[in-house]
Structure 1
Amino acid sequence: MGELVEFESIARLDRMPPIADPVIRSALARLSFRDFQEEFAIRTPVDRRGIIDHKALLEQVSAFVEPGYKWKAPFFDEHHLYWKASYYESAFNVDATLAQDFRDLPINKIWVPREFHDFVHLMTRPGDVPEHFDMKSIVRDFRRRNYLYTITSQIVNLREVSERVVPRTLHKKDGTAEGVIYVDPITRRSFESLEELEARRRRFITQVERHDRDGLIDLSTLTTMSLDESGRVEDAIPEIRDMILPDFARAAGRSALRVDIPYERIAG
């Protein structure tokens, strides 16, 4: 969804969640959108590199409303942590393609009730565009993690498939046995041999082990197992897969971080 458009009349408090501070409520009734933001909107919280802290953002925005409030959710959508979009389409001295790739990473969006989405645009000011090097590092790291997640998922899946496939005898037209294939009863995919499945799995495991040796991502931070012992990378694969990427919400081709925020479903 697009970013919040300016209200024709910021005085329409019925469009707002229950704001805790009476001074802010009063200001909504009398100030223009621009004047209200200049006086009350907070800077989007960032770390020392200018990277947004989305947990701090949730806490700070939620603090404006009454305790225990459940955000109204006729639907959920994604809030880009890095906005406005135009900042990343024509950022000064930064590659525009990189900036937009960075902005659109699933880890740089949060999946929130629409009411919260509108409110966060009212109560915060966008942060500065991060430095080129920092954006490049984050994009690269996400892609590496996504790749690692993909191959560890393949390893886990191939193990599960090998445990559930069933042999099926092939017959010639005259009814005599021609050979055996192995069929996955869930996906109906067939394999010539169990060795074929194991060979694929071993190739993926080798890629993970090579990934660790190359130091792209320290796998030891993604598992409770000691990887110093021979063969432990393979044993740690399921845990690595589960820890490698945050939990995403996916809908209509979009993907964003799931966040813990109280909400109430309402009719759209």
Structure 2
Amino acid sequence: MRFASLGSGSNGNGLVVESGNTRVLLDCGFGLRDSEQRLGRLGVSPEQLSGILVTHEHDDHAGGVFRLAARHGIPVWLTHGTLRMVERLLNKPDKLSLNVIDSHLAFALGDLEIQPYPVPHDAREPVQYVFGDGSQRLGVLTDTGASTPHIAAMLSGCDALVLECNHDLDMLMHGPYARTLKQRVSSRLGHLDNASSADLLAGLDNSKLQHIVAAHLSAQNNTPALATQALSQALGCTQDWIAVATQLDGLDWREISAR
């Protein structure tokens, strides 16, 4: 199993996960041409995608999903709450294959087993996902304002993690955002800051961990150095072991080795 990022941040998100003959895209917050170009950079054509999964309705995650899906005939999986909130984006719903999922029930998509799980975020029915191939597991967590025991249970024991490090709390509070936006971002329904992500990571079973990726960094309220410092301290490793998915370049393929 392997994974790569099209880009990660407030201006657009997308993550490709591949196992065997199955290749899925998690979220797509980019325009149609930009999405195609970012996929091409990873050696992927849209026709090779088995499906697109959606975490929630915010434009930086769902804004490009349905144009890409309609253009290339790609089926989409999402929760009922997310579907209700993205109806404004469905110009020609008859050309889309939409699959409604339960936020607690795993489902198979080709060679991948996909386990959605609910998270606290300011959206209608947001979820994140754990991907498995029967041997390795990739856990993804972005766009949540707080951890929960269920989140920790879902991510514990994974072979790879993509973990939100949205902001440094001091930078956010002393930065240019309006007070109401600062409160939203730092709330339980907002985004994880570096320290909270590190606390979550430190409490997991990381005995199988091969890859850790800091994701969804704020351009205004964080730096890669601060994010990697926090996660490396939680793991007791060097900072260069922590990867960062950037807004512009995303992240190149990371292979999860069989053990």
* Range of TM-score over shorter length: under 0.3
Q: Which has the higher helix share?
A: 1
TM-score by length of 2: 0.27
Q: Which has the higher strand share?
A: 2
Q: Which has the larger radius of gyration?
A: 1
Larger RCO (alpha carbons 8 Å, 6+ apart): 1
